[in-house]
């Protein structure tokens, strides 16, 4: 059985993960633990959540201002209207 050619870039990635596909019996070897906070996808989600938080805070402030204006208008109407 012949071993197929493996792209050198893929080979480097596999070895970095602890897999040596050139050995007769490829096995996992001890690897370093991954800090999930350092993963790009986690950082991207964190950034998106921060943006969403800011948008929601701004929307809440706008909604509270509209509510206060509507409440003031209601109070004027209760006390005889006026402009």
60 pLDDT higher than 60? yes
CA–CA separation, 42 and 60 (whole Å): 27
- Mean pLDDT, rounded, of the chain: 85
In this prediction, residue 38 carries a pLDDT of 86
- Domain boundaries, given as residue ranges, for the chain: 46-83
In this prediction, residue 50 carries a pLDDT of 97
44 pLDDT higher than 90? yes
**How many C-beta atoms surround the C-beta of residue 31 within 10 A?**
10
CA–CA separation, 39 and 36 (whole Å): 5
pTM recorded for the entire structure: 0.52
- pLDDT band of 59, cuts 50, 70, 90: very high
CA–CA separation, 29 and 35 (whole Å): 18
53 pLDDT higher than 70? yes
């Amino acid at each position: 059985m012949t071993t197929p050619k493996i792209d050198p870039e893929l080979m480097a990635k596999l070895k970095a993960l602890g897999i040596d596909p050139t050995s007769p019996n490829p096995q996992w070897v001890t690897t370093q633990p991954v800090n999930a906070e350092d993963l790009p996808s986690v950082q991207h989600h964190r950034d998106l959540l921060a943006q969403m938080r800011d948008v929601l805070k701004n929307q809440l402030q706008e909604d509270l201002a509209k509510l206060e204006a509507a409440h003031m208008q209601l109070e004027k109407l209760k006390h005889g209207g006026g402009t």
